[in-house]
């Protein structure tokens, strides 16, 4: 099959072991759905109402320090707690199954300036954030009961982010959550079957094809994956085989900061808006097993479809059948390649 096919087809995602339906001809249909608000960047460096700005009080009355770099704290409204829990009472049926779930949820502020984003920070300002993510992965993953450390960022009201202050979250759990568990299984099976890393081989195939690659720096490759579900979904892969953040050298951490900055600038420039997304790292579980199969990567899942205000919905066939997309990953990659790496809204 020619990858640029304009007829309906489905593509295999070997990392999730699932399919996505691609329907390029549908982009001609008229749009009469919801039109969301365009998100203008905030110009306010300090917001007295923001619970993440330096010196401000958080819910519960704790005051943030006057931090001038990164700042992390345990989430005041954590979804999971570290306390030992009693076993779940027997339900009388093996189909009504439950297990206690423990975890530690933290918030990491990337910068004291309320108005900034990864797109409007410099790579030199993002590097300490990469160092903090690495430290958190080591510290949380080093706890003997933590099996997985999920680092992520929700950006924009469209993704449910309640606060524009530049920050991310780190949820660490005493179990491996479903997405990384599925990717662990797929990568493990590929290594066992072929003796090679799934994502090292996938990266080589994408480099040979070229048409879905956004850019490469010395140590990372950004691309729209073959199996992308979200219109402008991006996968960021380390070019060297490494399972987790602590394996990266100083220059690799610099390259990661550079790549995160360049992806988010291109996103913002695409529709001249503060581009919403969920971004997160997938890396080796910290369950004390060895994980030679694991290849570090970041997923960007942005909801915008055709402008700053028209978003993609996952409804109907996608909820009941399988994910589906209209524009091809190749045309999305072309548009992101065409987007400038100079932010449309420079810092004064």
Q: Catalytic residue positions? A: 167
Q: Considering the rule CB under 5 A, would residue 234 count as an interface residue with Zn ion?
A: no
Backbone angles phi, psi at 199, to 5 degrees: -80, -25
User: Are the C-beta atoms of residues 45 and 115 closer than 8 Å to each other?
Assistant: yes
- State both tokens at 71: 């700042």
Residues from 99 through 138 that contact Zn ion (CB under 5 A): 114
How would you write 188-209 as a 3-class SS string?
A: HHHHHHHCCCHHHHHHHHHHHH
Residues from 235 through 274 that contact Zn ion (CB under 5 A): 241
Q: Considering the rule CB under 5 A, would residue 52 count as an interface residue with Zn ion?
A: yes
Part of the chain binding Zn ion (CB under 5 A), chosen from 3-11, 275-283, 308-316, 338-346: 275-283
* CB of residue 199 to Zn ion, shortest distance in Å: 5
Q: Considering the rule CB under 5 A, would residue 200 count as an interface residue with Zn ion?
A: yes
Q: Considering the rule CB under 5 A, would residue 149 count as an interface residue with Zn ion?
A: no
Q: Considering the rule CB under 5 A, would residue 298 count as an interface residue with Zn ion?
A: no
Q: Where are the alpha helices (DSSP H) in the chain?
A: 123-142, 178-194, 198-209, 250-271, 317-320, 329-338
Q: Considering the rule CB under 5 A, would residue 282 count as an interface residue with Zn ion?
A: yes
User: Are the C-beta atoms of residues 270 and 341 closer than 8 Å to each other?
Assistant: no
- State both tokens at 250: 């100083």
* CB of residue 191 to Zn ion, shortest distance in Å: 9
Give the nearer residue to Zn ion in terms of CB position, either 135 or 291.
291
Query: How many chain residues are in contact with Zn ion, going by CB under 5 A?
Result: 13
Q: Considering the rule CB under 5 A, would residue 53 count as an interface residue with Zn ion?
A: yes
- State both tokens at 214: 């956004």
* CB of residue 54 to Zn ion, shortest distance in Å: 8
The CA distance from 190 to 17, in Å, is: 11
Q: Kindly list the residues in this chain that would bind Zn ion in the complex (CB under 5 A).
A: 47, 50, 52-53, 114, 165, 183, 197, 199-200, 241, 282, 295
């Amino acid at each position: 099959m020619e990858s640029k096919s304009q007829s309906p087809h489905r593509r295999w995602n070997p990392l999730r072991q699932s399919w996505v339906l691609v329907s390029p001809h549908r982009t001609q249909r008229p749009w009469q759905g919801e039109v969301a608000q365009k998100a203008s960047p905030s110009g306010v460096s300090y917001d007295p109402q923001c619970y993440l700005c330096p010196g401000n009080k958080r819910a519960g009355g704790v005051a943030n320090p006057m931090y001038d770099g990164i700042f992390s704290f345990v989430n005041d409204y954590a979804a999971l707690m570290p306390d030992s829990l009693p076993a779940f009472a027997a339900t009388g049926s093996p189909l009504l199954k439950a297990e206690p779930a423990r975890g530690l949820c933290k918030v990491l502020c990337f910068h004291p300036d309320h108005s900034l984003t990864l797109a409007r920070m410099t790579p030199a300002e993002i590097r300490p954030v990469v160092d903090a993510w690495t430290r958190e992965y080591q510290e949380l993953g080093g706890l003997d009961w933590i099996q997985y450390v999920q680092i992520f960022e929700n950006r924009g009201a469209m993704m449910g982010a309640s606060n524009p202050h530049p920050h991310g979250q780190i949820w660490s759990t005493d179990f491996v959550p479903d997405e990384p568990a599925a990717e662990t299984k797929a990568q493990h099976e590929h290594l066992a079957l072929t003796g090679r890393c799934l994502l090292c081989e996938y990266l080589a195939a994408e480099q040979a094809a070229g048409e879905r690659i956004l850019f490469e720096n010395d140590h990372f490759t950004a691309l729209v994956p073959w199996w992308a579900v979200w219109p402008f979904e991006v996968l960021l892969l380390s070019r060297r085989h490494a399972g987790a953040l602590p394996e990266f050298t100083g220059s690799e951490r610099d390259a990661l900061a550079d790549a995160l900055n360049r992806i988010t600038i291109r996103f913002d420039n695409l529709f001249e808006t503060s581009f919403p997304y969920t971004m997160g790292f997938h890396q080796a579980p910290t369950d004390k097993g060895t994980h030679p199969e694991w290849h570090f990567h970041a997923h960007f899942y942005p909801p915008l479809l055709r402008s700053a205000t028209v978003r993609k919905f996952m409804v109907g066939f996608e909820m009941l059948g399988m994910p589906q997309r209209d524009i091809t990953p190749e045309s999305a990659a072309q548009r992101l390649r065409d987007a400038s790496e100079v932010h449309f809204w420079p810092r004064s």
